[in-house]
Amino acid sequence: MSDLKKKINKLTLELTESKENKKNQLITGFKLLCLSLIGIISGPVLVQIGIIENDELLNIYSILGVVICVIAIILIFLGIKKIGDYIFIKNDR
């Protein structure tokens, strides 16, 4: 009988750990999306500052703004992928 209790305790522990891991995955997805907001806002601002400050085609503000925008887009895709994995992947039991 005690062997059965040990197995039940082990199964419940595994289920709670998998739920915590899935919650962490969801939280990580939302953190990535929130972090991408910084790039979404600051990237175009830097590009605009670069255009206003210098009339040259290439300057450091414009290049930095474009790089930040690309990084923000990558973070958005990673965040959506993490949240999608949380929603659509089933528990392995």
> Could you state, in order of their start, the residue ranges of all structural domains in the chain?
17-88
CA angle 9, 13, 14 (to 5 degrees): 120
Q: What is the mean pLDDT of residues 78-92?
A: 81
Q: Say what the alpha-carbon torsion angle 56, 58, 61, 64 is, to the nearest 10 degrees.
A: 170
- Confidence tier at 64 by pLDDT (50, 70, 90): very high
Would you state the pLDDT for residue 38? 94
Would you state the pLDDT for residue 34? 93
Q: What is the mean pLDDT of residues 58-76?
A: 91
One-letter amino acid at 89 equals: I
pTM attached to this predicted model? 0.72
Report residue 89 as tokens: 């992947």
pLDDT in tens, 15-30: 666 666 778 888 898 9
